[in-house]
Amino acid sequence: MLCVFFLCVCLCTRESVEIMLQFQTLRVVSDRKMNQVGALRRSFIEFHYSFQKRREKPKKIKEKREFLRKTSF
């Protein structure tokens, strides 16, 4: 009787451990995918902002130069 109980406990724990391991591996895979997607989004946003900032700076410099040209005389 004790042997049958022990066998049932071992089988149940083994199945539950296997199920837990499957969910953990799925979570790790999905975390990796999310990290890659997040990294791509961040790099695209940073790439976009870097070009946007470069365009704004020369315009401000040109405006200041034109203002100084007009008021210098």
Residue-wise pLDDT tens digits, 15-68: 665 666 565 555 555 555 556 666 666 666 565 555 555 555 555 566 666 666
Return the structure tokens found at 40: 């791509």
Q: For position 31, what pLDDT does the model report?
A: 54
In this structure, which amino acid lies at residue 2? L
Q: Is the dihedral of CA 58, 62, 63, 65 positive or negative?
A: positive
More confidently predicted of 6 and 41: 41
Q: For position 27, what pLDDT does the model report?
A: 56
Q: For position 57, what pLDDT does the model report?
A: 53
